[in-house]
Amino acid sequence: MDIFSAFWLRVMWYRLSVLVSCGGRVVGKKYHSSLCGKFSVWMFHGLIMFLLLISYGGFSQQEGDYEVLQWHNSDCPGAIFLEDTIFGPTTPPPGPGDILEISSDDWSAYAFRREHHTVWYRFVAPAYSYLSFTIEPLSVDDDYDFLLYHEQGPDFCERIRRDEVTPVRSNLSRNNKAIGSKTGLGTQGGQTHVPPGPGDDFSKPMEVSKGDTLLLVLDNVYEGGKGHVLKLSYDVITEPEPETREPVETKGPRQFLMLTVVDKASGERINGSVFMTYARSSDTLFYDGQVSHVNTRLKPNAQYQVVVEAYPYFRHQISFQTEQMDTTISITAPLTKIERGRMLTLDNLYFYSGTANFLRESYETLRNLLEVMQEYPSLKIAIYGHVNQPLQWRQRSSDEYLERLSQRRADAVKRYLVRRGIDPERMITEGKSNRKMIHPYAESEEEQSENRRVEIKVLDIKPRSEN
């Protein structure tokens, strides 16, 4: 109820109380000259205005047949909760709201350059299905962009504002008047995220689980625009839902993973495939293809392993352990592009001290390298072995010993690959001793571990079409 409606309701209440106090003194008499009669006429006029107010719609959130979008609906905390699959037609989004949640300095497919006329919606998936939706502008001259988020964890709106969350779907392409300037998620879409400018009108549908909460923000970039109609659609998946999609029980500590995939050289977000398992297990707990950001629930006191891959990049492997407390683990996965001259450090590749024998946890890294060599038959690499001996330890081991140990470790990686069918002519090895230490005066165990490494250099690679 707005201020105007509340004022007239209070006036009517006062007039009604005066009329009641007059009681029978006004009934059946010529009351036009009496005080109560004047009040009765006053009451009658007020009643007419009250009825006109109701007919105008002052107590409703609708104007005629339109859903009224309020100023606070332009901010994430004021998102409209959708209880049906069709919402609208609406009035125009009133503006950017009071909170600037989204902005970008470049033409990104993951954020608006700035907010113009926004409205936020929140809805819950009713079943394991493929989510589609259509945004139908009431005017073909309007250009609606959208970002779709999978809401997970506490303070999600604030995390969007801090740019800690990436939308799972987006479309910022120029409006296509030939189809009524419609946009959304649909089977005609070929990309998960569509950048500004000419491009696909629709993005790819999204697989959702029953109970998933989605946040959708629309932005009409033009002044003086019209409203829209939003239509949701769920194409139910009939086969049993994978166990990995079931929500983790809500009792106990709340643990969340926020993973961002980036190009290591540029720092730009890129799309990749993300696989998550428990440590030392081959059962996939989570998989999402062609995403640059992942938000998912974890279990407390558990060891996880995540592998991220994209074309044409080396795979990236991450291991971590959750704790018995509420927390959000934020991880960036920097992928190294497979192109001539690029260097890659094989993370999580460890040896027993003073030997070229792999520790058990190294084999997942070796398997990832093997699969990359199999996937790119034209790839030729150099394998460099490094050892740790900070300069203040120079007298502990001879230069000859360090040279030999670093060569043996590089040879061990090559031998692993050759025994599994990789042509030895595609690889050369070299021991670097301790000449290329990252931390020449390493003191902590972490610094010493970074010195003790194996690196890969891309010597040659042909385009995938020539592989």
Residue 281 is part of a domain; what is its CATH number? 2.60.40.1120
Which pLDDT value is given to residue 225? 87
Mean per-residue pLDDT for 313-328?
84
Which pLDDT value is given to residue 46? 52
Which pLDDT value is given to residue 127? 86
Q: Is the pTM of this model over 0.85?
A: no
Asked if 41 and 83 sit in the same domain, the reply is no
Least confident piece of the model among 112-121, 161-170, 439-448: 439-448
Asked if 101 and 231 sit in the same domain, the reply is yes
Query: Could you tell me which of 216, 221, 66 has the C-alpha nearest to residue 138?
Result: 66
How many Å apart are CA 1 and CA 59, to the nearest integer?
A: 5
Higher pLDDT, 36 or 138: 138
60, 76, 97: which is the final residue of a domain?
60
Mean per-residue pLDDT for 46-50?
49
Which pLDDT value is given to residue 60? 32
Residue 407: domain span: 343-466
Both tokens assigned to 245: 């999609």
Asked if 201 and 82 sit in the same domain, the reply is yes
Which pLDDT value is given to residue 280? 66
Residue 389's CATH number: 3.30.1330.60
Mean pLDDT for all residues in the chain: 79
Asked if 198 and 171 sit in the same domain, the reply is yes
Asked if 232 and 247 sit in the same domain, the reply is no
185, 205, 236: which is the final residue of a domain?
236
Mean per-residue pLDDT for 340-364?
83
Which pLDDT value is given to residue 465? 57
Asked if 374 and 431 sit in the same domain, the reply is yes
> Which three-class secondary structure state does DSSP give residue 4?
helix
Asked if 147 and 226 sit in the same domain, the reply is yes
What is the number of H-type helices and E-type strands within the chain?
A: 6, 25
The CB-based long-range contact list for 77-84 (8 Å cut-off, 24+ gap) reads 77/157, 78/120, 79/120, 79/121, 79/122, 79/215, 80/119, 80/120, 80/121, 80/122, 81/121, 81/122, 81/123, 82/121, 82/122, 82/123, 82/230, 82/232
| 36 has a pLDDT exceeding 60 | no
How many Å apart are CA 416 and CA 413, to the nearest integer?
A: 5
Given the DSSP bridges, would you call strands 303-309 and 255-263 parallel, antiparallel or unpaired? unpaired
The DSSP call for residue 359 is P
Residue linked to tokens 């891309």: 458
> Which three-class secondary structure state does DSSP give residue 28?
coil
Query: Could you tell me which of 244, 68, 214, 73 has the C-alpha nearest to residue 132?
Result: 214
313, 335, 357: which is the final residue of a domain?
335
Q: Tens digit of pLDDT for each residue in 213-265?
A: 899 999 998 888 889 999 999 988 876 555 444 444 445 567 788 888 999 88
| 423 has a pLDDT exceeding 90 | yes
DSSP of 256-307, one letter per residue?
A: EEEEEEEETTT--B--EEEEEEETT--SEEEEEEEESEEEEEE-TT-EEEEE
Asked if 92 and 224 sit in the same domain, the reply is yes
Mean per-residue pLDDT for 185-202?
87
Query: Could you tell me which of 285, 284, 131 has the C-alpha nearest to residue 208?
Result: 131
8 Å CB contact between 183 and 175? yes
The CB-based long-range contact list for 374-379 (8 Å cut-off, 24+ gap) reads 374/421, 374/422, 376/312, 376/338, 376/461, 376/464, 376/467, 377/467, 378/460, 378/461, 378/462, 378/466, 378/467, 379/338, 379/426, 379/458, 379/460, 379/461
Asked if 359 and 425 sit in the same domain, the reply is yes
Q: Give the contacts of 380 (CB within 8 A, at least 6 positions apart).
A: 426, 427, 458, 459, 460, 461
Q: How many domains does the chain have?
A: 4
How many Å apart are CA 440 and CA 326, to the nearest integer?
A: 38
Mean per-residue pLDDT for 63-68?
73
Higher pLDDT, 301 or 177: 177
| 76 has a pLDDT exceeding 80 | yes
Which pLDDT value is given to residue 55? 40
| 110 has a pLDDT exceeding 90 | no
Higher pLDDT, 262 or 59: 262
Which pLDDT value is given to residue 244? 44
Residue 148's CATH number: 2.60.120.380
Least confident piece of the model among 282-296, 328-342, 400-414: 282-296
Asked if 110 and 211 sit in the same domain, the reply is yes
Least confident piece of the model among 41-55, 209-223, 316-330: 41-55
Distance of CA 272 to the CA centre of its chain: 13
Least confident piece of the model among 43-47, 115-119, 333-337: 43-47
Which pLDDT value is given to residue 216? 95
Asked if 192 and 100 sit in the same domain, the reply is yes
Query: Could you tell me which of 76, 77, 78, 85 has the C-alpha nearest to residue 68?
Result: 78
Least confident piece of the model among 87-91, 103-107, 326-330: 103-107
Asked if 26 and 155 sit in the same domain, the reply is no
The CB-based long-range contact list for 327-331 (8 Å cut-off, 24+ gap) reads 327/253, 327/255, 327/256, 328/153, 328/255, 328/256, 328/257, 328/258, 329/255, 329/256, 329/257, 329/258, 329/298, 330/164, 330/258, 330/260, 331/257, 331/258, 331/259, 331/260, 331/306
